Chain A
């Protein structure tokens, strides 16, 4: 008797709740949930971080998708550059919070971990921040699109330019994790392919190395003509700063090749130290009216200009929501692979990267730009940092599909 009464009571209590749950379930069914998984607290924060989140929010706004009755919810988290933290967040997001698509994910080791999870759960990863070309090579999945740049593209553009300029012998200072290894491997292939030699490399612990002078000295002792920096963010800044201090490039015999340098790094170094550095990006805020307009609309705090990673977050979310609009929320939520397939079938178009497309292996393609950092006297002010040296057209900028070893295109 008492049991019956308790059941009755709880059922009565739960009735309005159940109504609420049904309403919430209906709202959920019509809601796309985007998770921005990025570095909010350490060395990649400025080139991704809160700026990536802002770019995603702007993409949602400009997509006009909410006017069509589709809700979009954006959440974000800090992966602290640790694969274990990134994996845990990704699983919680997907299993508990119903996240449909994970954006950005800088730090290749974290990206490769999340790559497996989105595939296993049939969700979507639109990667803008990570560099490893393995994401569209040996680790490619039908659920991942690698948006902005990769190690092959960087090596092809910066590495190729350095070898053509006479830098025949190379020594690498490599961050000791997935990204650094991939960048060193891809760049070495270019150097050897162009008839150059790789004299050696040194692996620096990541994260946590602040003093690179010892590694610079080893590079100097190798007598290589080019010291290739296979690192990123704060590591690159410290290496370049200390290379200047130790007179590595004194006399012009040795050149530094910053294989991955972002505009935020140049800003941090200051033109005095960074001038003359040759680097490759796929986005620069001052390329044309559209990129300038995009950067103004994004309005990052303190007048900062967006990095290519942040631009990639914007561009990828815009395109994803376009695909969702065409295929419907239910279908997009049901299968991440279908959503990605739809995205691949549509040409891309946005203010940050112009017209582009996505290949079968998940590689988004667009032109890459070779820049040289201006001298202080050439710069008109803060963030006016780059001179365009050359453009690699979209179809040549990235690794040919057949060479990547991606299982999707065999």
Chain B
């Protein structure tokens, strides 16, 4: 058997693939964060809670309404996105003119409250949610046993990232969005409803988080703290990629997933720390992040 740095090659390939899968989650979550920060200048700390809500709504749809995974994939982001719109209209919109810190504190508080409510209602050990029958089973790749569902996650996440990037960079509505971040007053003078655009953007960012939550429901335990475990890493991803850079957060998300995956082989104890080491190094060398504009 071929060894690479003392690790059998098949094992290493497997780990790279797993890293890519985790990277897909990081990319999808950091994408939502980057969209919200890039367009609204709000650091959305409730993102983890909204990710968790996506998973819970999927579970609720199945439990109370009998709607399966495929329905959840469409309905959960819509419902949670709507909730995001409500938050934006009632609270977050009031903070645009203030320092970033206010938005951060508000969304952080909201995240804790949402998490607490779910914990009180459903406990902390989680709820079962099964992989949809169409995607259960696995492929034998020779070097590893690859669950079909994980492959699906990577593909869907990549498609979603690409679609979001296209919408923002290549469509008319995307150009309005970009313009209003540069100069909102001018865009408004052209007759575009900027506040509504902001609301919809926040809603879309939240919906992306919920979408990732539905994708995560069958493989991670659906529990109230599932978001807070991931969100810190995702923030590191956004910072490394460059705050507000959409392409940056996607590439960094996948890249860091792979770095983390390799750490799990060579020095597993450090696998939860390695991303922050990378963050520290990147911030020292490039304070604006890898893809950020200083």
Q: Which residues of A contact B (CB under 8 A)?
A: 41-47, 49, 176, 202-205, 207-211, 213-215, 217-218, 220-221, 233-234, 237-238, 241-242, 245-247, 250, 264-265, 267-270, 272-273, 302, 304
Across the interface, do A213 and B269 meet the contact criterion of CB distance under 8 Å? Answer: no
Across the interface, do A217 and B125 meet the contact criterion of CB distance under 8 Å? Answer: no
- The residue on A at minimum CB distance from B131 is A245
Determine how close the nearest CB of chain A comes to the CB of B8; give it in whole angstroms.
7
How many angstroms between the C-alpha atoms of A286 and B283 in the bound complex? 57
Classify chain B's interface size. 35 or more
**In the complex, what residues of B have CB within 8 A of residue A205's CB?**
268-273
For residue B94, CB closer than 8 A to chain A, the reply is no
Given contacts A203-B268, A210-B220, A210-B229, contact A234 B125 (CB under 8 A): yes
How many angstroms between the C-alpha atoms of A220 and B18 in the bound complex? 14
Residue of B8, B221, B271 ringed by the most chain A CB atoms within 10 A: B221
Mark interface residues in B1-34 (1 if CB within 8 Å of A CB, else 0). 0000000101100110011011000000000000
Across the interface, do B125 and A221 meet the contact criterion of CB distance under 8 Å? Answer: no
Contact pick for A268, options B15, B130, B221, B226, CB 8 Å: B221
Show 22 residue pairs from A and B whose CB-CB distance is below 8 angstroms, ordered by the A residue.
A43-B124, A43-B225, A45-B119, A45-B123, A45-B124, A46-B124, A176-B269, A203-B268, A204-B268, A209-B272, A211-B220, A213-B150, A214-B264, A214-B271, A217-B11, A217-B18, A234-B221, A238-B221, A241-B221, A245-B149, A245-B150, A246-B138
Determine how close the nearest CB of chain B comes to the CB of A291; give it in whole angstroms.
21
How many angstroms between the C-alpha atoms of A209 and B268 in the bound complex? 11
Determine how close the nearest CB of chain A comes to the CB of B7; give it in whole angstroms.
9
Across the interface, do B220 and A215 meet the contact criterion of CB distance under 8 Å? Answer: no
Determine how close the nearest CB of chain A comes to the CB of B146; give it in whole angstroms.
8
Across the interface, do B119 and A247 meet the contact criterion of CB distance under 8 Å? Answer: no
Top 6 A-B pairs, shortest CB-CB distance: A270-B128, A205-B272, A45-B124, A46-B125, A214-B264, A268-B125
Across the interface, do B22 and A234 meet the contact criterion of CB distance under 8 Å? Answer: no
Contact pick for B272, options A43, A208, A233, A245, CB 8 Å: A208
**In the complex, what residues of A have CB within 8 A of residue B22's CB?**
211
For residue B261, CB closer than 8 A to chain A, the reply is yes
- The residue on B at minimum CB distance from A237 is B221
**In the complex, what residues of A have CB within 8 A of residue B230's CB?**
210
Across the interface, do A247 and B145 meet the contact criterion of CB distance under 8 Å? Answer: yes
How many angstroms between the C-alpha atoms of A10 and B271 in the bound complex? 62
Given contacts A205-B269, A211-B22, A221-B8, contact A264 B130 (CB under 8 A): no
How many angstroms between the C-alpha atoms of A209 and B265 in the bound complex? 15
How many angstroms between the C-alpha atoms of A237 and B223 in the bound complex? 11
Across the interface, do B126 and A268 meet the contact criterion of CB distance under 8 Å? Answer: yes
Given contacts A202-B268, A234-B221, A245-B219, contact A268 B128 (CB under 8 A): yes
How many angstroms between the C-alpha atoms of A43 and B123 in the bound complex? 9
- The residue on A at minimum CB distance from B144 is A217
**In the complex, what residues of B have CB within 8 A of residue A45's CB?**
119, 123-125
**In the complex, what residues of A have CB within 8 A of residue B268's CB?**
202-205, 214-215
**In the complex, what residues of A have CB within 8 A of residue B272's CB?**
205, 208-209
